[in-house]
Amino acid sequence: MGVGIEVRGLNAWYGKNQSLNSIDMTVPANHVTAVIGPSGCGKSTFVRCLNRMHETIPEARAEGSVKVGEMDVYGDGSDPVEVRRRIGMVFQKPNPFPTMSIFDNVAAGLKLNGFRNRKQLHELVERSLKLAALWDEVKDTLHKKSGASLSGGQQQRLCIARALAVEPEVLLMDEPASALDPISTSKIEELIFQLKQHYTVVIVTHNMQQAARVAELTGFFLMGSLIEYDKTEKIFTTPADKRTEDYVTGRFG
């Protein structure tokens, strides 16, 4: 089951440039929450702060409080590796491990963390590929083909399966469909809709129609600040803030 996310006073920097200003946001469990905004508004930085990926970039740092379920992400003694194991991430460009088979791609997160039970490993790989709606397309070539041999849309679903295999509680998706064609995109969107039964999903998107289609809640970011955060329908029909209205009606960005 998914868990909720509580963000309080989150600030982030790249070197001396502050890219997030005191973000407060509450993401409910087992919902899909979209993060929208123009390029460079900090929406990617925001989700990368949730699983401490932000700090892997040289000179990048973040401060504030992020609670994912019971876990204090930035608390004393919090281990970023453990945080990332419990908060899965899907990136903008499909990034399967090119030298690994399809099976090994999905199993990587478990195997490389010392998971040794082979029978259970097979079950988890199959379950994850089925959840990601990729099983039928790859079940005959699991060990024969490289992850890089799949099409772009299949690769992205493989990356989703890979993230699901480690059984996270939250799934972060950073523009997961922006490099895909419309058919692959609709498959991914359908998938996101299914996933929320088991996971809490936060999705960054450039595409406002996509946010409207998949998300119950939407947050609008502008220049590192969360301008407005509400039910998706409200954001797109009767936003409270003028800047949100300008953005969703296409007047800028």
Partner 1 sequence: MSNSVPPSTSQQVSLWRRLTDWGATGFAILAAILVLVPLLAIFIYLVIKGIGSINWAFLTQTPKPPGEVGGGMANGIVGTGLILCVASVIGVPLGIGSGIYLAEYGRNRFGDVIRFTADVLNGVPSIVIGITVYSLIVVRQKHFSAFSGGVALGIMMIPTVARATEEMLLMVPNMIREAAYGLGIPRWRTTLSITLRTASAGVITGCMLAFARVAGETAPLLFTAFGNQFWNLKLNQPTAALSLQVFTYAISPYDDWHKQAWAGALILILLIVGAVAAVRIVTARGRLKGA
Residue 108 sits in the site that holds partner 1 (CB under 8 A): yes
**Kindly report the CA angle at 160 between 74 and 73, in degrees rounded to 5?**
5
d(CA 155, CA 162): 10
Of the candidates 199, 201, 177, which has an alpha carbon nearest to the alpha carbon of residue 188?
177
User: 99 Cβ partners below 8 Å, 6+ apart?
Assistant: 146
Residue 86 sits in the site that holds partner 1 (CB under 8 A): yes
Residue 229 sits in the site that holds partner 1 (CB under 8 A): no
Cα 223 from chain centroid?
A: 21
| Least spacing, CB of residue 130 vs partner 1, in Å | 19
* 22, 65, 95, 186: residue in contact with partner 1 (rule CB under 8 A): 95
d(CA 206, CA 253): 10
* Binding flags for partner 1, 36-55, as an x/- string (CB under 8 A): ---------------x-x--
Name residues contacting partner 1, limited to 114-153 (CB under 8 A): 141, 144-146, 148-150
Decide: helix, strand or coil at residue 230: strand
* 35, 44, 45, 84: residue in contact with partner 1 (rule CB under 8 A): 84
Binding site residues, partner 1, CB under 8 A: 51, 53, 56, 58, 81-86, 88-89, 91, 93, 95-101, 108-109, 112-113, 141, 144-146, 148-150, 159, 162-163, 166
